[in-house]
């Protein structure tokens, strides 16, 4: 079918008789129309055809097994809505599409019709897609028309949202609202505020068990490591829709959520008095369990919603900031009170089927306090009561450790971290409860993951963040606390000796060193003085790690933890470590790496290469003496192992390539004398061709050949790393123009890249490969066209001499980059086509 035939075909489709008994023909026609709508001229689409297609969206016209016909009709209409542009003469088309869509919605939500109950998921998906496309791409253009209003559309969308029978369909409908809100202009919000607030009411009711128990109870809420649960997806989507509306109506939205939250929270606070201490159970009737379950689930969801809205009320420049202050202050006080109730009540210890609900509420209340922290004045002496209250709902939970559920202690840890970020550290250290916790924190264990790391971050914030001007006594007290904390954290590690059992070594190191690495990473943006204090606290552990590394380096996971620690130490605390300490560390790592070369064990090797990369990139000449040893290790020991196991361990070869690239970028003068040392002006660009006789030609050639071997690996990341490194070296040092590269490597590298394109082994990187080939050819286009092209064609199998001549003659010799690349792509395609044709020709045939 040609585009010019579209009007004729559409006329035939309009005149055709779509009888229900001719279903096959109808389906084929709808499929054909869908295809035509992807490219046909919109001005040529007849309006009667649109009416006919909408006729087939009426699911009540057919039997239940004809849902696919309605879906096909919707799919065809969606193709029109996907057309973003509205050429002259098509305004009437989109206006009619809008009116037909509104009529379709009226038919679906009609009170006297049961049609909405029969909607299938596929149909709702297509309907939601259509409505979202209408809103995103066309509604605002239509709204600009005189007398046009989207309120009718929103009213019907609102009815659809309320009436959809399944939550899956409901979520699809929310995507339409999201599209509408995203397109909303501030000057139009007043027209739609009622509709948006109505949406908030619908969403709140849908997400509350008190109003929607039958549907919500059916949702899967079993934790999964792979993704969010069905309930989490539903709740997060609902909360985000409310937050989007709140951006346009913050106070009204907040008040509506707060009203429902207070109702649930009031019940929660009364539960403290409903505990039977003797039976350790709630004094409620069994029949009340379901109602209380609903209230607790709703309190958790509404608390999460209020936490999400907090970001809208922290900007003091907002008009509503001052007017909303009393309400928010009241909310914060209520949250603190509820957190105290949760801590004092220990609801999670009750003999109740609602334990999981109590845990979720408690963790959400603590998380909400963290988000509303900017509203809590903590550095004012008059308001110090707030600080004491927050510590009262936090520290007892953390001191309890594994006695409390992991969710609760994790939220408490994050709340403590937030406090340590906003409260002046000395204001915390003067409190006995804080000092007591700092002493016991290193030995604490918690349920769940990552809580320990968050606690350590909070303690480090308190101890090593800037304290301002200190008296000698305060400084001594601070240093003592730092030593106490880190001594407790690393005691078992520092007590390891040559005779410690392998089991103990594994256990201690796998527990302690990741904690230290996390602390160091956390402190990467701290000021220099704070890093100095951190180094003071962990120096003994760093020395211990260097002492035990040669002994335990043969244990893969132990070696890996030590190397990861030093990657972090050198990245964050290099200045504090000093040159001598770094030199000693590098010597230890190099000696161990060389001594283990026979083991062919690649474990931890990528981390060692990262450490060496950090040393290579360090400014100045202090570490210059390590370069020969690093290169010897890389070329004689690491490279043979890495290239032989490149498929199994691509991370090692990539780390090696990255290190070698770093050496060539940062230590180029090791191979080529700098312009200044040659007597040129200091202003002379180092990217000029410069000297062309390397000082270490054999070593440089070996290094560059590593990049060539990497280009022959099947792993695309290895190939990408190598190619990007070469192109970067060309841009910085004119690598391809150097005599050594031109004479010994250029031909080989071009051949590999040409075969990569010919074999389509790395098609995702085609553009990068073409650019690299151009840059290499640009070294000398005359040699490229006259010599290399001929040699390459002679080396390629599966071609006749006639075909080789044809390919050579048809390769245009233009040298500007766009034309060269276009001609080169045509050359490769022709070459590939010749080879395919020659292979497919029967044996004995004459090949022209």
Q: What's the pLDDT band for 70 if we cut at 50, 70, 90?
A: confident
Token pair 């290790």 is found at 633
- pLDDT top residue among 759 and 680: 759
Q: What's the pLDDT band for 5 if we cut at 50, 70, 90?
A: very low
pLDDT in tens, 661-678: 999 999 999 999 875 555
Q: Are 112 and 163 in contact (CB under 8 A)?
A: no
Q: Which of 80-89, 136-145, 165-174, 570-579 has the highest mean pLDDT?
A: 570-579
**Residue 243: exposure state from Cβ atoms within 10 A (0-12, 13-18, ≥19):** middle
When the pLDDT of each residue in the chain is averaged and rounded to a whole number, the result is 88
Percent of the chain's residues with pLDDT above 70: 91
By three-state DSSP, how is residue 276 classified? strand
Q: Are 291 and 354 in contact (CB under 8 A)?
A: no
Helix and strand element counts for the chain (H, E): 41, 2
Q: Is residue 490 scored above 60 in pLDDT?
A: yes
- pLDDT top residue among 302 and 18: 302
Q: Which residues contact 88 (CB under 8 A, 6 or more apart)?
A: 43
Distances (CA, A) of 87 to 41, 42, 46: 9, 8, 15
Q: Which of 34-38, 285-289, 777-781 has the highest mean pLDDT?
A: 777-781
Q: How many residues does the chain have?
A: 848
Residue among 256, 274, 146, 151 nearest 201 (CA):
256
Report the distance separating Cα 421 and Cα 462, nearest Å: 8
**CB neighbours of residue 788 within 10 Å:** 18
Mean pLDDT across 526-552: 95
pLDDT for residue 630 = 93
Q: What's the pLDDT band for 706 if we cut at 50, 70, 90?
A: very high
SS (H, E, C) 212-224: HHHHHCCCCCCCC
CATH of domain 1-183: 1.25.10
**CB neighbours of residue 582 within 10 Å:** 21
* Alpha-helix residue ranges (DSSP H) falling in 219-316: 230-246, 250-270, 288-309
Q: Are 635 and 703 in contact (CB under 8 A)?
A: yes
- CA 671 to chain centroid, in Å, comes to 40
Distances (CA, A) of 396 to 226, 344, 346, 790, 801: 33, 10, 11, 80, 86
- pLDDT top residue among 350 and 113: 350
282: β partners: 275
Q: Are 339 and 365 in contact (CB under 8 A)?
A: yes
H/E stretch holding 282: strand 281-282
Phi, psi angles (nearest 5°) of residue 578: 90, 160
Token pair 């957190």 is found at 339
Q: Are 589 and 628 in contact (CB under 8 A)?
A: no
**CB neighbours of residue 718 within 10 Å:** 24
By three-state DSSP, how is residue 281 classified? strand
Q: What's the pLDDT band for 4 if we cut at 50, 70, 90?
A: very low
Q: Is residue 813 scored above 60 in pLDDT?
A: yes
Report the distance separating Cα 138 and Cα 87, nearest Å: 12
Rounded (10°) CA dihedral 466, 467, 468, 471: -140
**CB neighbours of residue 806 within 10 Å:** 14
Q: What's the pLDDT band for 546 if we cut at 50, 70, 90?
A: very high
Report the distance separating Cα 348 and Cα 57, nearest Å: 53
Find the helix packing angle between 556-572 and 502-522, rounded to 10°: 20
Q: Are 695 and 760 in contact (CB under 8 A)?
A: no
Upper half-sphere CA count for residue 253 (Cβ side, 13 Å): 28
Report the distance separating Cα 501 and Cα 247, nearest Å: 60
Long-range CB contact pairs, 684-693, < 8 A, 24+ = 686/732, 686/733, 687/731, 687/732, 687/733, 687/734, 688/734, 689/734, 689/737, 689/738, 690/733, 690/734, 692/738, 692/739, 693/739
pLDDT in tens, 246-281: 999 999 999 999 999 999 999 999 998 888 777 778
Residue among 575, 599, 513 nearest 548 (CA):
513
Percent of the chain's residues with pLDDT above 90: 58
Q: Are 134 and 179 in contact (CB under 8 A)?
A: no
Q: Are 739 and 693 in contact (CB under 8 A)?
A: yes
**CB neighbours of residue 519 within 10 Å:** 23
**Residue 227: exposure state from Cβ atoms within 10 A (0-12, 13-18, ≥19):** exposed
Distances (CA, A) of 404 to 105, 236, 826: 51, 26, 68
Phi, psi angles (nearest 5°) of residue 713: -85, 145
Q: Are 52 and 13 in contact (CB under 8 A)?
A: yes
pLDDT for residue 210 = 96
Question: For the stretch 156-192, what's the b/e string if a residue is b when 16 or more beta carbons lie within 10 angstroms of its beta carbon?
Answer: bbbbbbbbbeebebbbbbbbbbbbbbeebeeeeeeeb
**Residue 696 DSSP class:** S
**CB neighbours of residue 574 within 10 Å:** 16
Q: Is residue 2 scored above 50 in pLDDT?
A: no
Q: Is residue 147 scored above 70 in pLDDT?
A: no
Least confident of 507-521, 528-542, 603-617: 603-617
**CB neighbours of residue 97 within 10 Å:** 23
**CB neighbours of residue 573 within 10 Å:** 21
Instruction: Map out the domains of the chain as residue ranges.
Output: 1-183, 745-848
H/E stretch holding 275: strand 275-276
Report the distance separating Cα 776 and Cα 820, nearest Å: 12
Q: Are 306 and 331 in contact (CB under 8 A)?
A: yes
Residue among 528, 463, 456, 522 nearest 490 (CA):
456
């Amino acid at each position: 079918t040609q585009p010019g035939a579209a009007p004729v075909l559409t006329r035939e489709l309009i005149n055709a008789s779509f009888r229900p008994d001719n279903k096959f023909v109808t389906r084929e026609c709808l499929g054909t129309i869908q295809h035509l709508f992807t490219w046909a001229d919109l001005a040529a689409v007849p309006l009667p055809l649109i009416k006919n297609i909408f006729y087939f969206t009426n699911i009540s016209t057919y039997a239940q097994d004809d849902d696919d016909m309605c879906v096909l009709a919707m799919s065809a209409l969606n193709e029109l809505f996907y057309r973003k542009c509205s050429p002259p003469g098509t305004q009437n088309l989109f206006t009619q599409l809008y009116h037909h869509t509104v009529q379709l919605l009226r038919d679906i939500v009609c009170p006297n019709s049961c049609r909405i109950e029969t909607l299938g998921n596929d149909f709702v998906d297509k309907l939601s897609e259509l409505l979202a496309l209408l809103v995103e791409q066309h509604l605002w253009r239509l709204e600009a028309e005189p007398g046009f209003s989207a309120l009718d559309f929103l009213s019907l969308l609102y009815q659809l949202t309320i009436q959809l029978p399944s939550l899956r369909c409901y979520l699809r409908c929310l995507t339409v609202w999201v599209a509408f809100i995203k397109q909303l202009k501030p000057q139009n919000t007043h027209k739609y505020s009622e509709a948006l607030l109505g949406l908030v009411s619908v969403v709140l009711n849908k997400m509350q068990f008190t109003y929607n128990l039958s549907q919500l109870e059916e949702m899967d809420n079993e934790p999964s490591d792979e993704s969010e649960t069905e309930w989490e997806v539903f709740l997060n989507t609902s909360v985000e829709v409310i937050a989007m509306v709140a951006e346009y109506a913050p106070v009204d939205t907040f008040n509506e959520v707060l009203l429902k939250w207070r109702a649930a929270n009031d019940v929660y606070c009364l539960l403290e008095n409903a505990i039977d201490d003797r039976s350790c159970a709630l004094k409620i009737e069994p029949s009340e369990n379901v109602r209380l379950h609903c209230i607790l689930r709703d309190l958790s969801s509404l608390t999460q919603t209020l936490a999400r809205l907090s970001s809208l009320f922290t900007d003091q420049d907002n008009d509503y900031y001052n007017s909303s202050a009393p309400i928010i202050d009241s909310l914060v006080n209520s949250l603190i009170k509820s957190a105290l109730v949760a801590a004092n009540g220990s609801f999670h210890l009750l003999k109740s089927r609602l334990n999981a609900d109590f845990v979720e509420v408690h963790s959400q209340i603590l998380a909400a306090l963290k988000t509303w922290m900017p509203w809590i004045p903590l550095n004012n002496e008059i308001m110090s009561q707030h600080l004491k209250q927050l510590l009262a709902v936090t520290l007892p939970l953390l001191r309890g450790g594994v006695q409390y559920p992991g969710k609760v202690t994790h939220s408490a840890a994050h709340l403590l971290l937030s406090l340590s970020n906003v409260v002046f550290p000395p204001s915390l250290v003067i409190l006995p409860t804080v000092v007591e916790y700092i002493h016991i924190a290193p030995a604490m264990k918690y349920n769940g993951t990552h809580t320990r790391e968050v606690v350590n971050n909070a303690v480090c914030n308190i101890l090593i963040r800037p304290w301002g001007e200190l008296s000698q006594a305060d400084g001594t007290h601070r240093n003592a606390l730092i030593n106490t904390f880190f001594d407790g954290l690393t005691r078992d590690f520092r007590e390891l000796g040559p005779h410690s059992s392998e089991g103990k070594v594994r256990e201690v190191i796998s527990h302690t060193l990741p904690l230290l690495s996390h602390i160091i990473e956390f402190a990467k943006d701290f000021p220099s003085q704070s890093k100095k204090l951190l180094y003071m606290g962990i120096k003994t552990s760093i020395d211990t790690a260097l002492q035990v590394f040669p002994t335990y380096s043969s244990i893969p996971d132990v070696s890996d933890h030590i190397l990861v620690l030093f990657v972090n130490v050198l990245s964050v605390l290099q200045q504090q470590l000093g040159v001598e300490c770094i030199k000693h560390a590098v010597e230890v790592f190099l000696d161990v790496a060389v001594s283990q070369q026979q083991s062919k064990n690649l474990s931890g090797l990528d981390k060692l290469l990262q450490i060496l990369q950090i040393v290579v990139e360090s400014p100045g000449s202090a570490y210059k003496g390590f370069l020969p040893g690093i290169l010897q290790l890389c070329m004689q020991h690491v490279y043979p192992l890495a290239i032989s196991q490149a498929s199994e361990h691509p991370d090692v070869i990539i780390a090696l390539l990255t290190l070698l690239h770093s050496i060539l970028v940062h230590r180029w003068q090791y191979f080529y004398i700098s312009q200044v040392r040659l007597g040129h002006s200091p202003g002379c660009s180092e990217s000029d061709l410069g000297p062309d006789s390397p000082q270490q030609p054999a070593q440089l050639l070996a290094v560059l050949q590593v990049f060539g071997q990497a280009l022959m690996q099947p792993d695309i990341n290895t190939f990408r790393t190598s190619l990007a490194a070469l192109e970067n070296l060309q841009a910085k040092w004119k690598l391809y123009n150097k005599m050594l590269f031109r004479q010994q490597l250029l031909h080989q590298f071009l051949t590999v890249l040409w075969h990569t394109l010919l074999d389509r082994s790395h098609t995702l990187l085609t553009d990068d490969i073409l650019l690299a080939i151009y840059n290499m050819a640009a070294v000398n286009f005359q040699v490229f066209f006259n010599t290399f092209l001929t040699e390459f064609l002679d080396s390629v199998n599966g071609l006749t001499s006639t075909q080789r001549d044809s390919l050579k003659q048809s390769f245009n010799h233009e040298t500007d980059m766009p034309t060269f690349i276009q001609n080169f792509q045509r050359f490769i395609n022709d070459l590939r086509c010749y080879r395919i044709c020659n292979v497919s020709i029967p044996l004995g045939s004459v090949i022209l």
